[in-house]
């Protein structure tokens, strides 16, 4: 009984898992021809979807949620021309790589965008030429001066193959050229033999030993390159360049007109008084007059004064003497500090009286 229950539970779980795997309607198309016009879709895990095995462009079929590779018919044996993508649970295409090889993110249509190589030039005939993509020739023909380098005139459409190579062969001679298309749409030459090569203005030329010159633009599709740059979102800003040289000295400018006279500034505040100067040196002593000479002069002056205006009493006489003393003391420098001119005059008056 227990074993029957376990079997029933396992069956329910298996049914649940199977019900989660849904098939989605997906369309695969191309802006080019995939060389032979056919391609494969292989699952990276699980069985390949039958709707897209050796399919013709365009093809609509069923793809379950999962991861897939688109491989052009010419890429199955090592050209490296593979487009990886995912189908999510909603049936929408996600994570296309390389981004330059297809568009359709968030839609149910994967549109491959091969790069058209249409600038091949062969300067004269010499045998049959072909471009190989691993499993066999993608394009071949007898190229000569009277026909286009690619015989049907529309060029060769190639997907980016950054991990593989495309080969150009001359059927009657040795191998001449190998190259790959990078994820930015540019062409990288990986091998050359049987000739002399050069690059001028972005165009590669191989002058072959058998005659024809193979001319290959190194960036054949500028629109594809621009789309790659847009998908990459642009790189980080580069570092500043080195300082350029000093520019030539410019001519002298015209003389400017005189400016208006400025107004007088406000008067400054009065300065503080300077410090007192030091005392001057002691001067020489003035000449002095002996006390007796001063007294005698005073008596003579008093007599002269009394002669002009005689005194009538003692008080007037004394007043006259005092006036004479005061006059002489103003101008006289008496040698003796103890000289008493007034007493000398008084003594002379007393003697007279």
Structure tokens, 310? 């005689």
d(CA 306, CA 303): 5
d(CA 107, CA 90): 10
pTM: 0.56
Per-residue pLDDT of the chain (353 residues; tens, 9 = 90+): 454 444 444 443 444 444 445 789 999 998 877 655 688 898 987 677 888 888 888 899 999 999 999 988 877 767 888 999 999 999 999 999 999 999 999 999 999 998 887 655 544 455 667 777 776 667 655 444 444 444 444 467 889 999 888 888 777 666 678 899 999 989 999 999 888 999 999 888 888 887 777 788 888 877 777 777 776 665 444 455 566 566 667 677 677 677 677 677 676 677 677 677 677 666 566 678 788 887 787 777 777 776 766 767 767 777 777 777 777 666 667 787 778 777 877 777 677 66
Helix, strand, or coil (residue 264): coil
Task: List the chain domain ranges.
Answer: 23-113, 116-230, 291-352
Alpha carbon separation from 247 to 163, 244, 254, 274 (Å, rounded): 49, 8, 21, 60
Print the SS3 string covering 329-348.
HHHCCECCCCCCHHHHHHHH
Write the pLDDT tens digit of every residue in 235-266.
Answer: 444 455 566 566 667 677 677 677 677 677 67
- The CATH class of 23-113 is mainly beta
């Amino acid at each position: 009984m227990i074993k029957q229950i376990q079997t029933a539970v396992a069956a329910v779980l298996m049914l649940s898992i199977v019900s989660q795997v849904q098939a989605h309607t997906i369309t695969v198309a191309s802006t080019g021809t995939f060389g032979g016009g056919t391609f494969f879709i292989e699952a990276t895990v699980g069985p390949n979807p039958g709707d897209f095995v050796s399919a013709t462009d365009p093809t609509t079929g069923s793809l379950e949620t999962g991861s897939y590779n688109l491989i052009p018919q010419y890429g199955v044996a090592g050209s490296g021309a593979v487009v990886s993508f995912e189908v999510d649970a909603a049936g929408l295409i996600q994570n296309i790589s390389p981004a330059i090889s297809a568009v359709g993110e968030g839609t149910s249509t994967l549109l491959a965008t091969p790069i058209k190589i249409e600038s091949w030039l062969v300067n004269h005939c010499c045998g049959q030429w072909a471009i190989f993509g691993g499993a066999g020739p993608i394009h071949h023909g007898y190229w000569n001066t009277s026909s286009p380098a690619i015989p049907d005139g529309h060029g060769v459409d190639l997907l980016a193959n950054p991990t593989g190579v495309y080969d150009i062969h001359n059927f009657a001679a040795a191998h001449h050229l190998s190259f790959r298309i990078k994820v930015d749409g540019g062409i990288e030459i990986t091998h050359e033999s049987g000739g002399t090569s050069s690059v001028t203005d972005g165009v590669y030329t191989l002058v072959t030993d058998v005659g024809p010159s193979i001319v290959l633009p190194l960036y054949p599709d500028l629109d594809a390159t621009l789309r790659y740059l847009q998908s990459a979102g642009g790189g980080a800003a580069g570092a500043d360049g080195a300082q350029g040289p000093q520019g030539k000295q410019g001519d002298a400018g015209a003389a400017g007109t005189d400016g208006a006279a400025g107004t007088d500034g406000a008067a400054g505040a009065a300065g503080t008084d300077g410090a007192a100067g030091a005392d001057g040196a002691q001067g020489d002593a003035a000449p002095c007059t002996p006390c007796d000479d001063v007294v005698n002069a005073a008596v003579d002056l008093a007599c002269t004064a009394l002669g002009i205006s005689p005194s009538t009493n003692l008080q007037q006489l004394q007043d006259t003497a005092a006036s004479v003393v005061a006059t002489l003391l103003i101008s006289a420098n008496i040698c003796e500090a103890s000289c008493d001119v007034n007493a000398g005059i008084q003594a002379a008056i007393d003697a007279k009286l």
